[in-house]
Structure 1
Amino acid sequence: MSSSAERSARRGALIVVEGLDRAGKSSQCEMLQTYLAERGHDVKYIRFPDRTTPIGKLIDAYLRGSADQNDHSIHLLFSANRWELAKSMQRDIAAGISIVVDRYSYSGAVYSAAKANPTLSLDWAWQPEIGLPQPDLCLFLNISTEAAAQRGGFGEERYENEKMQTRVREIFRALFDRQDKVCVIDAGRALDEVAKDVHIAVEKCFVNSSRNEPLGTLGPLAPRAGSVPSLS
């Protein structure tokens, strides 16, 4: 493992965990935070949406079904919620603190596009994300819609139904065909087995990522490339 001096000379890493609802994202984020801290890394864990901010409270009411919003306006609120924390994320990472993020721009774009609104395409949904901090690694916890629906708590929020989750899974595939730095992990296994693969992927990221350079920013979607393993 690198010495403290070597670690402090490098910026932190931005690690994002994505997946369907009930795929185990929060559990894996918490376990990853502990794993990294035990190995001497300064690390924070944040979740989107951040429901504590003024914008986050509007989003929370929407997700719980107690408020309605136009598809475009709620999408922009989700994006604005990420922009609220962008500067603090960049400061922390520049100071050598790694950040584990539960949901990010990928979910934001995918869930909005999954509504099948003809004027809200994946490309339209991605536009407000351009310029946000770019993850060094995005971990997609891959699980079937049927398996996710069998997990505790499924159905408590607006998007937790099988029809929507099936559509979300399809659009994640389309998005990841146009992104790099994505690692697909089988999340249909025991928690510890999934965590082992998560930790291996993150360790590789720490070794291989260019953390001597400033954190990048998200850019426009690339043309379809098919560079990411299938979510079969």
Structure 2
Amino acid sequence: MATTAAAPSRRRGAFIVFEGLDRSGKSTQVQRLVDALNARGVQTKGARFPDRTLSTGKMIDSYLSQKADLDDRAIHLLFSANRWERASQILEDLRNGVTVVCDRYAFSGIAFSAIKGLSWNWCRAPDVGLPQPDLVLFLRVSPEVAQQRGGFGQERYETSEVQAKVEKAFTKLGQSVGKDVWTEIDADKGVDEVHEEIVRRVEQALGSEALDGEVKKLWEDALGDEKD
């Protein structure tokens, strides 16, 4: 009796996150990558956090532009809520085979809150269970180069002192997700050179066997009743 071969399962999309210090060129590189992947036939969408189009995003925008003040804990939870508002859409896109390229994510939220003296575990807790990126590209830029780029200092956290502290926090966060997910890019280089390196890294991620399985949950070891 003849058997019918099972149809091959559809690979999901890759979740790619850009992190980095302010003025490292993240937004430019996110758009260039989205355009490059779509041009190659890889269905791709861009995303960014905070998402200022959402209800929580409007409050965050007022805070970042220094038009309003909020308690440090309140603003941290607001940033996390902003990510959860968009999480289900990200998961749906990934499961439908769409690659999502995101400008900032939970790592930024934790890094900027932790340097204020808030508990590291408290900062991480609201984001436990979010979709975990398949690749985090951390764009490292030197203070000298960042300050030469237009717009530096316009928002609340854009000072050399704050950026130095945030960089150390990002290093710790990279260790928490592992070098198989977190990779650093020298963003002091020219825009084209940085883009080429990013594309190489992303091509590796798109070929990963991980895309044959479900999207992992961020810091899933902390889910349930386990102690953090």
**1:126 match: secondary structure:** helix
Shift of 1:61: 0.1
1:158-213 C-alpha deviation (Å, 9 max, x unpaired): 00011100100111112212222001010001000000010000000111241110
Distance in 2 between residues matched to 1:194 and 1:104, nearest whole Å: 20
Q: Please tell me whether the aligned partners of residues 126 and 221 of structure 1 are also in contact (alpha carbons under 8 angstroms).
A: no
Change (3 A) 1:209 1:198: farther
Q: Please tell me whether the aligned partners of residues 11 and 96 of structure 1 are also in contact (alpha carbons under 8 angstroms).
A: yes
**2:45 match: secondary structure:** strand
Q: Which amino acid aligns with 1:96?
A: G
**2:22 match: secondary structure:** coil
Shift of 1:123: 2.2
Distance in 1 between residues matched to 2:149 and 2:167, nearest whole Å: 17
1:184 paired residue number: 184
Q: Report the TM-score, using the length of structure 1 for normalisation.
A: 0.89
2:98 paired residue number: 97
1:109-148 C-alpha deviation (Å, 9 max, x unpaired): 0011122x2xx12222111110100000000001112321
Residue 113 (str. 1) matches residue 111 (str. 2): no
Q: Note the 1:135-146 alignment, pairs <5 A.
A: 135-146=133-144
1:167 paired residue number: 165
1:52 paired residue number: 53
Residue 76 (str. 1) matches residue 74 (str. 2): no
- Gaps (5+ residues) in structure 1? 223-232
Distance in 2 between residues matched to 1:145 and 1:220, nearest whole Å: 34
Q: Which amino acid aligns with 1:48?
A: F
Identical-pair percentage = 47
Q: Report the TM-score, using the length of structure 2 for normalisation.
A: 0.90
Residue 198 (str. 1) matches residue 212 (str. 2): no
Equivalent residue pairs, number: 214
Which of 139, 155, 158 matches 1:157?
155
Distance in 2 between residues matched to 1:221 and 1:79, nearest whole Å: 19
Report which of the two structures shows the higher radius of gyration computed on alpha carbons.
2
Q: Which amino acid aligns with 2:25?
A: G
1:227 paired residue number: none
2:24 paired residue number: 23
Q: Which amino acid aligns with 1:151?
A: R
2:43 paired residue number: 42
Change (3 A) 1:58 1:155: same
Residue 147 (str. 1) matches residue 145 (str. 2): yes
Change (3 A) 1:157 1:209: farther
- Gaps (5+ residues) in structure 2? 1-6, 223-228
Q: Please tell me whether the aligned partners of residues 129 and 220 of structure 2 are also in contact (alpha carbons under 8 angstroms).
A: no
1:128 paired residue number: 126
**2:56 match: secondary structure:** helix
RMSD of Structure 2 on Structure 1 (CA) = 1.6
